[in-house]
Amino acid sequence: MFMNDIIQLNESEFASQVLQAPGPVLVDFYAPWCGPCKMLSPLLEQLAAEFRARVKFVKVNVDDAPGLAMRHQITGVPTVMLFRGGLVLDTFVGLPNPRTLKRRLEELAPAPAAATA
């Protein structure tokens, strides 16, 4: 399945795409065999479309990137981490509450104020 708004990363791309990104980045550390990871995907796709241009969404397969998983102390999948300026601002291990995750993204990347004429 092709995800328009979610970038699949490998270990070599992580630093440039996540740690050096100018704005907030949501990283989904997942495994293809993980049931809760599959349940999380539709929510992340919906949020990626909603927060397009405000938050970058990326996925990292922990089976393909064991070094990254170890470096970020991933002990269970899915693990969702929110980065900004190379720093981890938040971590959700397991299936996050959709409202909690959306509220956190809104705090990190508020919608531009509507122009008033």
DSSP 1: -
Active-site position among 7, 21, 34, 89: 34
**Helix, strand, or coil (residue 35):** helix
**37 given a catalytic annotation:** yes
**38 given a catalytic annotation:** no
Q: Round the CA-based radius of gyration of the chain to a whole number and report it.
A: 14
Sign, Cα dihedral of 44, 79, 16, 32: negative
The token pair at 65 is 């990137």
Active-site position among 37, 58, 74, 80: 37
- List active site positions: 34, 37
